Amino acid sequence: MSRDPRGAAPPPSAGGAGYDNRTAAKARIPKAHQDWKIPEQYEIRQLIGTGSYGHVCEAYDKYNQRIVAIKKIHRVFEDLIDCKRILREIAILNRLDHDHIIKMLDICPPDDLEHFDELYIVLEIADSDFKKLFRTPVFLTELHIKTLLYNLLVGVKYLHSAGILHRDLKPANCLVNQDCSVKICDFGLSRAIGMEKQLHLQQLPNTPREIDAEDGTAGAASSLAAGPIVPHTQNLKRQLTGHVVTRWYRAPELILLEENYGEAIDVWSVGCIFAELLGMMKENVAFPSDRGPLFPGSSCFPLSPDHKHATDYKFHTRGNRDQLNMIFNILGTPSDEDIEELEKEDAKRYIRCFTRRDGTGIRDKFRGSSPEALDILDRMLVFNPRKRITVDECLEHPFFKGIRGIETIAKDEVFLQFELEPELDEMQLRKYFVMEMQKFHPDVRCDEVVVLGYIWWRRFQCRLDSNASRFVGHVDDGGDY
């Protein structure tokens, strides 16, 4: 499924060397990573990523004789919003099982379950990721690109069948190996669709870590790709969190803060990634230094506007590098019919402030691509999500004729119990982290006195609150309690 049946050669590696060569040439491990609190089973080899959440190291699993990535997350409980996102990512990975989704291999249990503030997550490692691949000077054939896109779409189809919206698909979150296999990673901003139908989640403030991710400073911590970056010569009722997907890959409905969005947001993101893949064909972009994202906006009103014009939406419509302007420059401004389908009146007024234009079009940018490739890209990047092609329609497209295989779907939709408890405190979060560890370490248990005693105390408080309500009701009715 992840290999091309017609025998296409693998694309050149962004890392340039296999595991044996990397191991032989690896730099000395920084002292800061020699004291990682991990089992003797794992031997740290080299740092491969760092960011606001922590660090990622390549390690050797001596028991299973394999190379892995270990992600150290520090200050887990410093911000409970961030903490819940970390828990959500771990819980989702624990419930997914697919060749094109990164596998979580272990959660190293801490010595002190009641007071730990660090997590060590063991995951599959990959040769590279799309972000690193895009920064190499190599060229790809359309057959390579077709295989990579197909594998990415198969992974997205599985996610959607499990009721998961990724919401943060971007090149750094698409791992790739030299055989063209693709694995989707980083589920910190993902949501279970079924859960959203039961919840009315308030839009949450942006945490410092999430702002870092938006600015691109935290991406490395999510990277599970071992290869180094080779730079260019030129450099349902849903009120969900505001910061979703790095702006260049964000669907218009997210930019406009639409509440009822769905699987189409991931299709848009895949389309933006596909466009960058097509830019790696020599027939489309002759010089690697001329490559880049399709919609490289420098601000994104109202989610992350230009700081000097944070409340001036008219500024963002006047031909600058705001994200929607970049989209409209290529795709054209939406029709009146599409504008009317927007949920919010202020969004409709905002869109009508943009200068009307037809857009330069996608086809002129990728003249060396086949008509089938251009057709599927055109249909992925449609402003109106209801008119956007679906993942299943993508996979059935003639572009994939000759390479399509059997696509598996999830047996059940993911259900996360803790999502039903929007106000989780630190102790409750610890309990849920331990429950996720138990999949790998069934003998791991919290101190029953602490956990069960806390649960008993919560229930007792609920009874007191309930009794108090009944008491107030009797008094109001003139009753005798």
Q: Which domain holds residue 328?
A: 131-218+230-400
**In whole angstroms, what is the distance from residue 182 CA to residue 100 CA?**
6
46: Cβ–Cβ under 8 A, 6 or more apart, which residues? 22, 26, 27, 29, 57, 58
Residue 23, in any domain of the structure: no
Residue 314, in any domain of the structure: yes
Residue 77, in any domain of the structure: no
Looking at per-residue confidence, does 275 or 309 come out higher? 275
Average pLDDT over residues 416-439: 91
Residue 168 is a catalytic residue: yes
> Does the global pTM surpass 0.85?
no
Counting Cα atoms < 13 Å in the Cβ hemisphere of 405 gives: 15
Residue 296, in any domain of the structure: yes
CATH of residue 369's domain is 1.10.510.10
Annotated binding-site residue? 72: yes
Number of compact structural domains in the chain: 1
| Burial letters 144-167, b for 16+ CB under 10 A, else e | bbbbbbbbbbbbbbbbbbbbbbbb
**In whole angstroms, what is the distance from residue 429 CA to residue 202 CA?**
19
Q: If phi over 0 gives left and psi between -120 and 50 gives alpha, with beta otherwise, what is residue 361? A: left
- The count of other CB atoms within 10 Å of the CB of residue 193 is 17
**In whole angstroms, what is the distance from residue 87 CA to residue 428 CA?**
11
Are the beta carbons of 49 and 55 closer than 8 angstroms? Answer: yes
pLDDT bracket for residue 97 (50, 70, 90): very high
Beta strands in 226-270 (DSSP E): none
Find the angle CA(172)-CA(175)-CA(179) to the nearest 5 degrees.
145
DSSP 406: -
- Three-class DSSP category at 300: strand
Average pLDDT over residues 182-186: 96
For all residues of the chain together, what is the average pLDDT?
Answer: 80
Q: Which two tokens stand for residue 137?
A: 């000077």
Are the beta carbons of 113 and 447 closer than 8 angstroms? Answer: yes
Residue 429, in any domain of the structure: no
Given the residues 168, 186, 266, 322, select the one marked as catalytic: 168
**315 pLDDT higher than 70:** no
Question: Mind listing the pLDDT tens digit for each residue in 326-359?
Answer: 999 999 999 999 999 999 998 999 999 999 999 9
Q: If phi over 0 gives left and psi between -120 and 50 gives alpha, with beta otherwise, what is residue 258? A: beta
Residue 331, in any domain of the structure: yes
Residue 466, in any domain of the structure: no
Residue 86, in any domain of the structure: no
